[in-house]
Amino acid sequence: MDNNVVDCLCSVLIEESLISFKFNFRGVGRSQGVFSEGVGEQDDVNNATSFITTLSEVDSDCIGLIGYSAGAAFALPVGCKDARIKALAAISPPLSMYDFEFLRHCLKPQILISGSEDAFTPIGRFIEFCQNLPGPKEYDCIQGADHFWWGYESGLAKKTTAFFTKTLKR
């Protein structure tokens, strides 16, 4: 949770008066548990969603979910099924490493963003995958950005935040 992409996303969300909540999956950093190939990590997403809905500051009818890299593969399947989640964002989904076919059946508003130089998902594959998703959807490729977004974090965060502002804010 403490990397350049997640930190920038959270900062820009907060600047636009959107509450952000980030966490480490089990076994990462000081989180308890051990990595379980995405299965237990989906429980982590569900537990995090359950926690934030208990906070008085959170409008439980306006929750969005962002997954970056493998986090998109672990979090977004939960977001597609969970009625509490109203919109989804996949940042640098590693299509060559994980199965994202679940998004083909997800009708929630979603945005997918990848960099043109992402080594885990060739841009042609990314665009073709996105074009075949049902709506409502948005997708974008940021020229020059790689999987780790060094130097491109701000633009990525502003684009993602604009999507959530448009989709969730009332």
Asked whether residue 29 is domain-assigned, the answer is no
Asked whether residue 131 is domain-assigned, the answer is yes
Asked whether residue 13 is domain-assigned, the answer is yes
| pTM attached to this predicted model | 0.93
3-state helix, strand, coil in the chain (%, to 5): 40, 15, 45
Note the residue count of the chain.
170
Which domain range does residue 112 map to?
Answer: 4-24+34-168
CA geometry: angle 133, 112, 128, nearest 5 deg: 45
Q: How far apart are the first and last CA of the chain?
A: 28
Query: In the prediction, which pLDDT does 26 show?
Result: 65
Q: Which two tokens stand for residue 85?
A: 């989640």
Asked whether residue 158 is domain-assigned, the answer is yes
Asked whether residue 142 is domain-assigned, the answer is yes
What order do you get walking across the sheet with 63-68 strand by strand? 63-68, 85-91, 110-115, 137-142
The Cα–Cα gap between 60 and 49 comes to 9
Asked whether residue 107 is domain-assigned, the answer is yes
Query: In the prediction, which pLDDT does 8 show?
Result: 97
Q: Which two tokens stand for residue 43?
A: 């429980």
Low-confidence ranges of the chain (pLDDT < 70): 26, 170
In the chain, which residue ranges form alpha helices assigned H by DSSP? Answer: 4-15, 39-52, 70-81, 123-131, 153-168
Q: What is the CATH number of the domain that holds 101?
A: 3.40.50.1820
Give 127's DSSP letter.
Answer: H
The number of domains in the chain is 1
The Cα–Cα gap between 42 and 161 comes to 23
Provide the CA 72 distance to its chain's centre, in angstroms. Answer: 5
Strand partners of residue 111: 89, 138
